[in-house]
Structure 1
Amino acid sequence: MSRDGQIPVPLPVALSKLLSGVPTIGAAERAVLLMTTDEELFPHACLLSRAQIKIEGNAIRIVVTSRFSADNLRRTGRATLIVGDEKHLHSCKLLCESVDDSVRGLTAFSLSLRWHKADGGGAVLTPLSFIVDDGAPERERWDECTDVLEMRNAVGWSGA
């Protein structure tokens, strides 16, 4: 049971595979968009890499470095995650189950899936992506993101 009293939707295997793994320097990395809403209800997009995401069973754990996205997600408790592959654009409505902002400048969230749609219509898609440059691990604090996610998994996630 999630914090809204509903049973979370199981995480589809295809989505779990898209969100798992480690980015490779010099290679194309699928863009993962985390959409939140600001105080005026306008959408706000935040680009995540797989270095900021960890799948644990049906939970999607993320570390957000954007103060605006973290504040929006903390305030509303909701986000939409969008990621694509060559066949589908996956749209996911997420509910925040737990927040940890104990590491300066990083906010970790444990999210549950409320709704998922894989939309493709039979077309061959070119997923939104970016090339991982040499400075990405330091700029995006990959080691710290990994440490935060591992530490949270070791001590457990508490309620939001």
Structure 2
Amino acid sequence: MDERDLIKQAQQGNHQALSDILQKHYVFLKSYLLKITVNPYIAEDLTQETLIKAIEKITLYDGRSSFSSWLITIGSRLYIDSLRKQNTEKRWTERQKAISKMKWAADHQNRDWPEFLEILLTLTEEYRIPLILKHYYGYTYREIADILHVREGTVKSRVHHASQQLRKEWLDDEKPSS
């Protein structure tokens, strides 16, 4: 039975045909993922995730590319998504370490850790940086736009949004808890 027939049968719910087509491409897929990850453990995990995704989405395979290309596309996207997730987690961890370090320094220099700074840290950098440049350092919107390489209107919008968010957080903290 040729590959197109196996795929068609798999799409119609034939579990054996699905198993056969995935087994046929397993080594190829794993080899590809090993080359891009350079890590046998990650490659094995990604191979399994790719096969699971292929099983779930087999009916969406349209035959415009070869089946192996379709599997590589799924595997590549899963790998890129995992890298993005790792980068996001790494940035979050680094930020938490920096906050802890600042708090520790404040404690050991007998300074209070201002509640406002706690609230300021709830803003993302996208909003916190323009707000600090505007209200702490006194830069104009035009100067901030030049520093951050964004439009002046974007800076105004971010400062406004950040200010509103800070007011909301501050007022929420001021309310007595029940």
TM-score when normalising by structure 2: 0.22
Higher strand share: 1
Q: Which has the higher helix share?
A: 2
TM-score, with length taken from structure 1: 0.23
Flag the structure with more relative contact order, 1 or 2, with Cα contacts below 8 A and sequence separation at least 6. 1
Larger Rg: 2
